[in-house]
Chain A
Amino acid sequence: GENVEQHPSTLSVQEGDSAVIKCTYSDSASNYFPWYKQELGKGPQLIIDIRSNVGEKKDQRIAVTLNKTAKHFSLHITETQPEDSAVYFCAASSPGNQFYFGTGTSLTVIP
């Protein structure tokens, strides 16, 4: 089955700096890659996703890049704000298969 690895497990940045979280996957058939943000006491919330026919996608301060050859994808958050502090999860899914989640990155934005 699919194996998704996520790094780093914890990340601290100063407010206004950028944050980057990286994930690798093993199944070359994976074609859908969502990113989730989980705040304390809440369920994971989808923040952005990308499909394998696209190399990059942006939504305001958030962007995701995908390198199919290297089988890795990354989440980029620019101009970080304290409310960006949360746990972020990546996931990968191939046709006919479930989501496989990474182990999460705890992001702290220091005011």
Chain B
Amino acid sequence: DAGVIQSPRHEVTEMGQEVTLRCKPISGHNSLFWYRQTMMRGLELLIYFNNNVPIDDSGMPEDRFSAKMPNASFSTLKIQPSEPRDSAVYFCASSGSYTSQPQHFGDGTRLSIL
């Protein structure tokens, strides 16, 4: 079975550029989560969707961050404009439910903003 697929795996770009991260959840899962991982802050939940609808975006750090889920098989996380402090590994996870069910993670996008 295909797991959660994220692209790109690595992204290096200059400050001020727009960055778009992509995620394909596991087929049949109706909840999708975006996390950010850094050494200083660990795993932070940014936003999660249930049935393509954003449920909680309180973890999104600033208005520069936005996320969409236009259909059950695709989601994007966009940063515009990007800043060096956005450098981190961004993970997408999917689950059969947004609560009390296993979440399955992709292998992440390592983002470096110069």
Interface of A with B (CB < 8 Å)? Answer: 31-32, 34, 36, 41-46, 49, 51, 89, 93-99, 101, 103-104
Contacts and interface: CB of A to CB of B under 8 A. Distances in A.
Contacts of B56: 98
B70 interface: no
Interface residues of B, number: 20
Contacts of B105: 36, 43-45
A98 B45 contact: yes
A49 B4 CA distance: 19
Contacts of B33: 98
A43 B98 CA distance: 19
Contact of B102 (A42, A49, A94, A104): A49
Contacts of B45: 98-99
Nearest to B92: A43
A44 B102 contact: no
A36 B35 CA distance: 14
Given A43-B91, A44-B91, A101-B43, A93 B102 contact: no
Nearest to A102: B42
B103 A96 contact: no
Contact of B108 (A43, A49, A51, A99): A43
Given A43-B107, A43-B108, A98 B99 contact: yes
A37 to B, nearest CB: 11
B25 interface: no
Contacts of B107: 41-43
B98 A98 contact: yes
A98 B32 CA distance: 11
B100 A95 contact: yes
Contacts of B93: 43
Instruction: Specify which of A44, A51, A97, A101 lies most central, judged by the most chain B CB atoms within 10 Å of its CB.
Output: A44
A95 B36 CA distance: 23
A104 B40 CA distance: 12
